[in-house]
Structure 1
């Protein structure tokens, strides 16, 4: 019974993640990660299906594991985030909320700069290889 519930939750989060590919309001990556969490606890077949899915490989494996994202993709994500944060920024006349929204946007920009920095990633990988091969 427990595995069946995990399977159902995994299916729901997978569907929501897939819808999030086409609707920028829903986040894709967190829903796919939740699918992996649920399906690894339900069955190996469901988990292997998720790992072999082209969208999972494109959005989770490429972005989070390999840290590969084009500049165009980064700009696209930051523009969508800017629009979504600008709506409450304009609609609600609260100074503290505007400061928090500005900090959230700046934090995302800084994260994108450092997380997807190719030089830093190459240095990290080469230093890990040196430690591994000693």
Structure 2
């Protein structure tokens, strides 16, 4: 079973790396999934991920502090909502539409109320200018 976790983690890592370069594909959720999968599958892979630059840049704060920048939250929510709405249009099944609506609602609630919003450095700079 550990090999399955490593395979899913590697696929997720590749999608996360691609997302770092393509603005339409979010990086953070794929890297969070990678960290989870590697944590379940292999301590070696998990340790390598945690010590990498991509981890430190995109998801370290999210994992340790449960905080994301407003930009990260918005990109994530727009991407999930966009994909869900596309599938709602494609599939005319009311059950699928209901489930996808709940997924969107769940993401909005989770990222709106349970994940803290980290202040961006530019916002801090503007607040210092006001004082």
TM-score range for the pair, normalised by the shorter chain length: 0.5 to 0.7
Which residue of structure 2 aligns with residue 19 of structure 1?
A: 14
Query: Larger relative contact order (C-alpha < 8 A, sep ≥ 6)?
Result: 2
Which residue of structure 1 aligns with residue 66 of structure 2?
A: 67
Which residue of structure 2 aligns with residue 95 of structure 1?
A: 94
> Any stretches of 5+ residues in structure 1 without a counterpart?
119-134
Structure (1 or 2) with the larger CA radius of gyration: 1
> Which of 21, 25, 33 is the matching residue for 1:30?
33
Aligned residues: 109
Aligned CA-pair RMSD: 2.7
Which protein has the bigger helix share? 1
C-alpha distance in structure 1 between counterparts of 2:5 and 2:96, whole Å: 34
TM-score (norm 1): 0.65
Which protein has the bigger strand share? 2
> Any stretches of 5+ residues in structure 2 without a counterpart?
20-24, 118-131
Moved more, 13-22 or 78-87: 13-22
